[in-house]
Structure 1
Amino acid sequence: MTQASAPDHVTVTIPVEGGDLPVRLYLPEGGRGPGLMLVQEIFGVSRYIADRARALAALGYVVAVPELYWRLGLAATTEEGSIEEVLGAGMAASAELGLDRAVDDVVTTLEWLPGCPEIADAGEPGGSNVGIIGFCFGGGVAFAATARLDRTDLPVALVSYYGSALPALTDQAERVRVPSLHHWGRADAFIAADVQESVREQLGRDGVEWFSYDGANHAFDNPHPAFHHADASRLAWERTTDFLRRHLPVS
């Protein structure tokens, strides 16, 4: 494992099939805390994703952000140009990478994280102290990785913002056995309201929290003017931080 300094994070590399996966670690003020894996949206580890990682680290979490597009030779797609250009670049990159390869790398990172020296002990022998949160593409990847592991202790909690692959993943719902929180915009242009409702019904069980936001489109938490819905973003973030406090508390 190699390590290099950066102004607000360190980057470690984890051996995975085909090479070394770069993973950014954003550390809380005390240097240690519960682990929280943040899975990127289709635009990669963008400025927005980095800002969310910093905000979560400020709450006391060790935030691990894998650069899933490393196989494509980049950390993030373009954030400049028209919305059509930005969307096109992100969708092309996520399609080239593919869901399965992304899930492979996320599972490997999740299994590595409990042994990371910055992660505070869970307090229970054999238990982990690691949660996962994903946005858009990452929301689906986080769900699929949690299902792949099929455990009650790794991750200990899941947060998914408008997981774009979820409609195709509901057959895996029984293997997601940890508390989960889902955010959706009722005006989502990519995943229709009736599809969202079908997903909600198929995921329905104890431990699943589901919130929908009037007037909010897909990617409503992203600050880009084409996506952002200020009220939905604020309320969803409040609910996210409350959920994490309950299921992944910071001592």
Structure 2
Amino acid sequence: MHNLTRPDGTEPEDLLLSRRAVTSMFFAGYAVTALSAEAAPIVTPADGLTGEEVHISNGTPTGLPAFVARPTGKSRHATIVVVNEIFGIHDYIKDICRRLARLGYAAVAPDFFYRSGVNLPALSDMAEIRAIVAQAGEAQVDGDLRAATAWIAAQRFSKPKAIGVTGFCWGGLVTWRAAMTNPDVRAGVAWYGQLKTVIPRAGELKAPVLGLYGGKDKGIPAEDVRAMGAALDATGKTGSSIHLYPGAEHGFHADYRPSYDAAAAADGWARMLAFFKSNGVA
């Protein structure tokens, strides 16, 4: 629900948001293929927040779609880019944005898979999902993220020098790369992102990254986590670090999935906020 009430009256853009809400660009609900029947996902109230769906100029005819949540008003805020899992933009990712907005951040979740024209969270076939995700190559995704941070820096709601990135699963890997290649990024927090391709690139980090990983993650071996920690040490990237939750599985923050671990998720969230604050994303 969008909050369309301002102390000084309704603005024209508020009415535009209400029309957008009727024809949302994004899936309503949780990713079908990963949703647990027993899940009780966190639902963050939207009162006091402004939510909108935008298109960000990225050199394509339609632009990059993105979901934005921020505190209502005219103040400037540190901004976090929220990078989704392989399931695209669905209610979990939108709620992450609202959680950050309630803490005083602006949050922007770009739809990196929009070129497929497929409503990705609605798919139930993992093979089909993976095929679509594979079409989003590294250069394309990193370029879209640079377009997103450039757009953020130009917005009246943002502090241009206080932009962070956090990403989950697929988005965790994107976060590591963003800290290597995107000059707008002040800090990143990667939740269980693949490491094999970025371990040899640890020395390229331009911004610090906190990696949050599960010890029972079947897709990211503990050896990779240890290797990334060693690579950070070897290249002198002392501002970056890895934290491992021994009993947690892959996707331990995703409160709509069977792998959700409430204790690890809460601790990781607290570490993320502290990391952003200590690195100027506040």
Shorter chain as normaliser: what TM range? 0.7 to 0.9
1:50 aligns with: 94
Q: Identity of counterpart residues, as a percentage?
A: 26
Describe how 1:56-95 pairs up with structure 2 within 5 A: 56-74=100-118, 76-78=120-122, 85=125, 87-95=126-134
Matched, 1:177 2:174: no
Matched, 1:21 2:60: no
Q: Structure 2: how far apart are the matches of 1:234 and 1:115? A: 32
Describe how 1:148-159 pairs up with structure 2 within 5 A: 148-149=181-182, 151=183, 154-159=184-189
Measure how far apart 1:67 and its partner are: 1.0
CA contact (8 A) 1:29 1:58 kept: no
Matched, 1:104 2:147: no
Name the aligned partner's letter for residue 200 of structure 2.
D
Describe how 1:218-233 pairs up with structure 2 within 5 A: 218-233=250-265
Q: Structure 2: how far apart are the matches of 1:109 and 1:169? A: 22
CA contact (8 A) 2:88 2:113 kept: yes
Matched, 1:199 2:232: no
Name the aligned partner's letter for residue 171 of structure 1.
P
Partner SS, residue 227 of structure 1: coil
Q: Structure 2: how far apart are the matches of 1:210 and 1:95? A: 26
Partner SS, residue 34 of structure 1: strand
Matched, 1:161 2:194: no
Larger radius of gyration: 2
CA contact (8 A) 2:199 2:227 kept: no
Alignment gaps of 5+ in structure 1? 122-127
How many residues align structurally? 233
Aligned-residue CA RMSD (Å): 2.1
2:26 aligns with: none
Alignment gaps of 5+ in structure 2? 1-12, 22-49
Q: Structure 2: how far apart are the matches of 1:120 and 1:15? A: 19
Matched, 1:139 2:169: no
Q: Structure 2: how far apart are the matches of 1:182 and 1:246? A: 15
Give TM-score, length-normalised by structure 1. 0.84
Give TM-score, length-normalised by structure 2. 0.75
Measure how far apart 1:68 and its partner are: 1.0
C-alpha distance after superposition, 1:24-43 (max 9, x if no partner): 22112445311111111111
2:219 aligns with: 190
CA contact (8 A) 2:229 2:241 kept: no
Name the aligned partner's letter for residue 93 of structure 1.
I
CA contact (8 A) 1:134 1:161 kept: yes
Q: Structure 1: how far apart are the matches of 2:281 and 2:152? A: 17
Name the aligned partner's letter for residue 60 of structure 1.
G
